[in-house]
Amino acid sequence: MKKVITTEKQPIKLWLDDIESGAFEQARNLANLPFVFHHVAVMPDAHQGYGMPIGGVMASEEVVIPNAVGVDIGCGMCAVRTSLTTISTDRLKRVLAEIRRTVPLGFNHHKKKQDPRLMPKGDVALDELPVIAGEYQSALTQLGTLGGGNHFIEIQKGDDGHVWLMVHSGSRNLGFKVANHYNHLAMDLNRQWGSAIPKSWQLAFLPITSGAGQAYLQEMNYCVDFAFANRKMMMERVKDALLAVVQPVFFEPVINIAHNYAAMEFHFDKHVLVHRKGATRAQAGEIGIVPGSQGTPSYIVRGKGNRDSFESCAHGAGRKMGRKQAQRQLDLEREKKRMDDQGILHAVRSTGDLDEAPGAYKDINEVIDNQLDLVEVLVALRPLAVIKG
């Protein structure tokens, strides 16, 4: 931990020195909520989001805040270690071509609905999940699709000597619809109740014992499961693409983590609802994934169960530039050369791609160094080939 701020109603515990002003203002807002529990934790990759900083962790006893989970509910990572120890550039290119053939990217969906048996099978009937029920048929075409933004598929070489596969994606339009529905519902209810929390904070809440609060949590959990099902399907397609080019290849069990969700956990002698927005759970012994940018390493880590972070860690490098800012300010040829010199098959082709260039992100090694009290590094993964949405 870098510092503790004690000027607000609850402390703010920071794992970075250089938090941007907007993200810090959002952390202060969280710390002044009447229902925030114990303290607010801010991870080393933090930057400004909607309502709550991305890279923020907040717990409450009584309420859930949809904007403290975010619009891409269940977004997270999957990683698989393969038996391969090397792969040629020519074969990598063939693998990428096969992935692009079988995994829709960006706004694209499958032309046909996918097998409903691959959808989540929760404890709650579909007709009790109104938003998901309305979006279910559309979601069948989104299952196994990457999306855009910072989502990626990457082939990597680990310092353990093995080739790894990694997928970063979320709940697609399904999570977006759920998040927006319940955030607007919370805003309407807060207005009816005369809530003292300023609307400008973008932190409208729902009591977790209310019908609306329970409905959100049920639909949120479905989206978390859907996001995992989405990543699993893509990982299977990535494995198939590799097997179409190289045989034999054996695969270890998938590592999966989410970094946008809320869950009931036990902290500081109480059961509380922990909101993680761009933060990864890091309980003692728990294996996690902290990705870098497409030009920098990613890390397989093991949690240390640090109670001050609510047993959490960073979810990635974290942005240091907004998307439009990166497109305006970064030098295209310099960013491309940075990756070309490493032999990375990357996804930066034009100025429009600079929002996802390495220069738009914080130094992942500094992020890791700032959280060595939260996790230990198990494997460093160097990018070999990258597909972006």
Give catalytic status of residue 315 as yes or no: yes
Residue 347, domain member (yes or no): no
**Type of residue found at 232:** K
Residue 351, domain member (yes or no): no
Residue 335, domain member (yes or no): no
Residue 372, domain member (yes or no): no
Residue 137, domain member (yes or no): yes
pLDDT at 186 exceeding the cut of 80? yes
Q: Which one, of 41, 45, 5, lies nearest residue 370 by Cα?
A: 45
Going by their DSSP bridges, the two strands 312-314 and 279-281 should be labelled as: antiparallel
- Tell me what percent of the residues of the chain surpass a pLDDT of 90: 96
- Report phi then psi at 352, rounded to 5: -65, -20
Residue 206, domain member (yes or no): yes
Going by their DSSP bridges, the two strands 255-258 and 76-81 should be labelled as: antiparallel
- Tell me what percent of the residues of the chain surpass a pLDDT of 70: 100
Residue-level pLDDT at 369: 97
DSSP 323-356: HHHHHHHS-HHHHHHHHHTTT-B----SGGGGGG
Q: Kindly state the tokens that stand for 280.
A: 């990864």
CA 243 – CA 104 distance, rounded (Å): 19
> Can you give the residue range of the structural domain that contains 104?
3-286
Residue 79, domain member (yes or no): yes
Q: How many domains does the chain have?
A: 1
pTM of the model: 0.96
Region 69-80 average pLDDT: 97
CA 34 – CA 32 distance, rounded (Å): 6
Residue-level pLDDT at 47: 95
**Type of residue found at 142:** Q
Residue 271, domain member (yes or no): yes
pLDDT digits (tens, 9 = 90+) for 190-224: 999 999 999 999 999 999 999 999 999 999 999 99
Q: Which one, of 249, 299, 318, 364, lies nearest residue 79 by Cα?
A: 299
| Average predicted confidence (pLDDT) for the chain | 96
β-partners of residue 169 are 76
What's the pLDDT band for 172 if we cut at 50, 70, 90?
very high
Strand order in the sheet with 12-14: 3-5, 12-14, 36-47, 54-60, 270-277, 260-267
Q: Kindly state the tokens that stand for 67.
A: 């904007």
Of the residues 151, 168, 275, 315, only one is catalytic, namely: 315
CA 356 – CA 340 distance, rounded (Å): 15
pLDDT digits (tens, 9 = 90+) for 120-135: 987 888 989 999 999 9
Other Cβ atoms closer than 10 A to 164: 24
- Report phi then psi at 314, rounded to 5: -65, 155
CA 186 – CA 250 distance, rounded (Å): 48
pLDDT at 12 exceeding the cut of 80? yes
Region 321-334 average pLDDT: 94
CA 383 – CA 159 distance, rounded (Å): 11
Helix (H, G, I), strand (E, B) or coil at 271: strand
Omega of the bond leading into 116 within 30 degrees of 0 (cis): no
Other Cβ atoms closer than 10 A to 137: 10
pLDDT digits (tens, 9 = 90+) for 337-354: 999 999 999 999 999 999
Residue-level pLDDT at 389: 81
Residue-level pLDDT at 56: 98
* CATH number of the domain enclosing 167: 3.90.1860.10
Q: Kindly state the tokens that stand for 239.
A: 């494995």
Residue-level pLDDT at 256: 97
Q: Cα separations (Å) of 266 from 109, 214, 283?
A: 39, 19, 11
